[in-house]
Amino acid sequence: MDLSDGLNYTVKEPNVSWNPEKKQFLCCLFKFFEKDLTAYKAVFDSVYEDDLRTFGFTHGVKESTLNTQWHDLRRSSHFEWGEVHLSPFDKDGRWSPFIAAIRRTLATLRIDLPEKARDDIDTSTFDPTLHTSSQPTSVSSNHLNTALSKYGGKECFWCVQERVNEEYIQARNKPREYTTGKGILEPLLYRWSNVDSQGVNNKNLYIAGLFVDWDKYFSPDMISQEKFDEYFSNHIHRKEVSSPFISTFKSMLAPVHRAVRNQEGAIISIIESKKLGDLVYSARGFCQKHQLRIGRYNGGGEYLIWGKVPSDAIICSFKVSTLKQIADEHDDIAEILQLRTIASYKHNQRSLKDALEKRGGYLDHTSGTIIGKLLSLLQVPFEFSGEVGIGMYYSWRLRKRGGPGKAFQEGLNACY
DNA sequence: CGAAGAGATATGACCAGAAA
DNA sequence: TTTCTGGTCATATCTCTTCG
């Protein structure tokens, strides 16, 4: 018997130890980078070099193994597969550490692997009811674990499993309610926050309180409609619990009103809604569906964003102290803004709007010029100045009837 | 009792060949 | 070619039994 041949038959290539991290890493390659198994292999081998050597690999993992593994994860609706592929296509989001590692490795290896500009992975075959998980999901892990440790019996496991499955079926089959849908959604949303706001509130990034530890992120697809409604309801009832949502408003007046009344470090941001995908929900829609009123609040004008507002969706941010300073330095701006009047009203309601109206109307060209000056001082990019300016025109009641005319736009443009 | 062991069952990694 | 699918084999986990 030829010994070397014999070795080839008996010495089997080792198996990859697919822990959750490696699965996520592999899925990130497929999700964010153009498909090229040779490049995927090079990156994977390099990143997990030590680990692979420990398990006995000498020439890295075969391309086919990576491909099969990814398809297997998809076929079995594996937890990590869903985690990566059902999450928003956001390169600055939860998967950014993986993406950064991949980019670094590609640069080191001098491999030119294009990144995808959008998600092209078909997730329609993903069935959460089948989903095999190495880690229970964040949603149901508590129920599952307590039930198991409490009773330990097979019957109980299955009844719990049944309920978990039901949650998933509901989550999948029911289209998510209250979503604003394309076309209806306001192009711009405004956000107010201060030092007391929960979550991460930066000038260029917002993260909801529940996801401050971004590793714990889950998409709304991963939870039931009931759970989603509970989060939504808690949020609009302003309950003191961590929320997966970020509040925004379609009008700039609402956040300005809150900001001038709660000045401590208040920031106002302007957000471009189309960069948020479909993770924006109308509070009005929710209140209508559930016939809900909280005092006089009916959700009008408020939109909740799930998870985070990535930096590329934030057009600009300014501190309310900057706004006040500008008003102090420019009488015409102060006269239009009426920050003191706004601050004197407890609620942003009819009476505040009436009070703003009392100031009297402006000629369109005049108001356009003043608003334009303000927006340029606040460094609102020119391309959004029209949208923001017109919004302010209505909110601040710059003329009693009708919309802004051509002269308003001309006045606005004159300042940039 | 509870620890240890044996057997049964489930899961994970992967291949080879079919299908597209 | 690439992608999908049925099946194998090894290992992990569960369940039941035995024995000190």
Which residues, 6+ apart, have CB-to-CB distance to A192 below 8 Å? Answer: A249, A254, A255, A256, A258, A259, A266, A267, A268
Give the residue extent of every domain in chain A: 20-109, 183-314, 330-414
Residue A231 has pLDDT above 80, yes or no: yes
Residue nearest B11, CA–C1′ metric = A132
Q: What is the pLDDT of residue A224?
A: 67
* Mean pLDDT (whole number) for A121-133: 62
Residue whose token pair is 């051509």: A406
Is the separation of the CB atoms in A169 and A129 below 8 Å? yes
Mean pLDDT of A411-415: 83
- Cβ of A68 near strand B (under 7 Å)? The reply is yes
Q: Which pLDDT does position A163 carry in this prediction?
A: 38
Residue A71, CB, less than 7 Å from strand C? yes
Query: Lowest-confidence range among A92-96, A105-109, A240-244?
Result: A92-96
Averaged over A152-160, what is the pLDDT? 30
Of residues A24 and A150, the one with the higher pLDDT is: A24
- Token couple for A268: 């106002």
The percent of residues above 90 in pLDDT, for chain A, comes to: 6
Residue pLDDT, tens place only, A185-198: 678 899 988 877 88
pLDDT at A154 over 70: no
A76 beta carbon < 7 A from strand B? yes
| Stretch A283-307: mean pLDDT | 82
A68 CB inside 7 Å of strand C: yes
Q: Residue with CA nearest C2 C1'?
A: A67
Residue at the smallest CA–C1' distance to nucleotide C3: A71
Q: pLDDT value at position A340?
A: 85
The closest nt to A17, taking CA to C1', is B13
| Residues pairing with A270 in the sheet | A190, A316
Decide which of A317 and A16 is more confident.
A317
pLDDT band at A165 (very low <50, low <70, confident <90, very high): very low
As a rounded value in angstroms, the CA-to-C1' distance for A132 and B9 is 16
Measured from the CB, is A123 under 7 Å from any atom of strand B? no
Strand C closer than 7 Å to the CB of A349? no
- Whether residue A84 contacts residue A27, with contact meaning beta carbons closer than 8 Å, is answered with yes
Q: Are A186 and A303 in contact (CB under 8 A)?
A: yes
For A324-392, the DSSP string reads HHHHHH-HHHHHHH-HHHHHH-SSSSHHHHHHHHHT----HHHHHHHHHHHHHHTT--HHHHHHHHHHH
Q: Which pLDDT band, with edges at 50, 70 and 90, does A130 fall under?
A: low
Among A93-97, A174-178, A211-215, A402-406, name the one with the lowest average pLDDT.
Answer: A174-178
* A75 pLDDT more than 70: yes
| Strand C contact at CB of residue A76, distance < 7 A | no
Q: What was the pLDDT predicted at A146?
A: 27
pLDDT value of residue A357: 76
CA of A69 and C1' of C9: distance in angstroms? Answer: 17
Q: How many helices (H) and strands (E) does chain A have?
A: 19, 9
Span A23-60, pLDDT tens digits: 888 888 888 888 888 888 888 888 888 777 777 777 77
- pTM score, whole prediction: 0.59
How would you class A216 by CB atoms within 10 Å of its CB: exposed for 0-12, middle for 13-18, buried for 19 or more?
exposed
Write down the H helix ranges in A209-304: 225-236, 253-261, 283-289
A296 touches strand C (CB under 7 A): no
Residues A376, A415: Cα–Cα separation, whole Å:
7
- pLDDT confidence band for A402 (50 / 70 / 90): low
- Please tell me the distance from the alpha carbon of residue A38 to that of residue A244, in angstroms, as a whole number: 39
Residues A41, A407: Cα–Cα separation, whole Å: 60
Q: How far is the CA of A203 from the C1' of C3 (A)?
A: 45
Q: Across residues A315-340, what is the average pLDDT?
A: 89
Give the CATH number of domain A183-314: 3.20.170
A20 CA to B1 C1' in angstroms comes to: 38
Q: Comparing C-alpha atoms, which of A295, A55, A273, A65 is closest to residue A182?
A: A273
- Please state, rounded to an integer, the average pLDDT across all residues of chain A: 75
| Strand B proximal to A62 Cβ, under 7 A | yes
| Chain B: bases < 7 Å from a protein Cβ | 11-16
**Mean pLDDT computed over A207-226:** 75
